[in-house]
Amino acid sequence: MGQQPSTRTGLIGLTTMKLPSPIRLRIVFYPDPVLKKPAANVGRFDAELAALAKRMIELMREAKGVGLAAPQVGLGLRVFVCNPTGEPGDDLICINPCFIEMSGGEEREEGCLSIPGVTVNMRRATHVVMTALDVEGKPFQVTGKELCARIWQHEKDHLDGRLIVDNMSATDEIANRRAIKQLQEQYRPHKRQNVKTSKRRF
């Protein structure tokens, strides 16, 4: 069972951090430490937050991804965006998300925009009911199945500081060893302000 929906008051770990200019945001790559830190609940809903979400959608689309979480652009906030179809009308912005129901199970290969070239077999629930807040702080509830459910779980893992590489089997480790080593060798810390595959990547 999941937690009760968050409201704009009483949030645990609530933050009202100053956000950087959206145009400066870029996708950060493994092994950047921000990807391993649990994100804080959002406590301020304003034009800056809306601009952040819009920029995240742009970056997700540019990278041909289906989901992107705020830690993936260097911000420790519980925000993710997603779009399983690529159609603009299907963009979804989720702030302080909670899963209140999860059922079913299926193992499939997943990739990640922050860990390019790496794919890992992940078992996920096939049915998820999620509550979240929109950019105005209004609560909503949605139900996702199959791909939608998988995307939401992948992105919520990012908000909790978990990555697909944390769940690699011995076979996955062997298959991805070279790609991970290359990412580690190429990694350069990015400056923060206040804060190759056709597979679907999140």
Task: Summarize pLDDT for 112-148 with one digit per residue, the tens.
Answer: 999 999 999 999 999 999 999 999 999 999 999 999 9
pLDDT at 15: 54
**In the predicted structure, residue 13 carries a pLDDT above the cut 80:** no
How far apart, in whole angstroms, are the C-alpha atoms of residue 6 and residue 57? 23
The confidence band for 170, taking pLDDT boundaries of 50, 70 and 90, is very high
Stretch 193-201: mean pLDDT: 46
pLDDT at 47: 93
Q: Which of 66, 64, 70 is nearest to 27 (CA)?
A: 70
Digit-coded pLDDT (tens) for 45-67: 999 999 999 999 999 999 999 99
Give CA separation, 182 vs 168, 179, 186, in Å: 17, 5, 6
Q: What one-character DSSP code corresponds to residue 104?
A: -
pLDDT at 19: 78
Among the residue ranges 5-19, 23-37, 62-76, 178-192, the one predicted with the least confidence is: 5-19
Decide if 164 contacts 202 (C-beta within 8 A).
no
Digit-coded pLDDT (tens) for 58-98: 999 999 999 999 999 999 999 999 999 999 899 999 999 99
User: pTM for this structure?
Assistant: 0.85
Give CA separation, 20 vs 23, 30, 122, 164, 194, in Å: 9, 21, 33, 27, 7
Q: What one-character DSSP code corresponds to residue 6?
A: P
Delimit the domains of the chain by residue range: 22-186
Decide if 95 contacts 187 (C-beta within 8 A).
no
The confidence band for 12, taking pLDDT boundaries of 50, 70 and 90, is very low
More confident call, 112 vs 9:
112
Number of H helices, E strands in the chain: 3, 7
CA 71 to chain CA mean position, Å: 7
Decide if domain 22-186 falls under CATH 3.90.45.10. yes
Catalytic residue among 62, 107, 146, 155: 155
146 included as an active-site residue: no
57, two tokens: 């959608």
3-state secondary structure of 100: strand
Digit-coded pLDDT (tens) for 29-43: 999 999 999 999 999
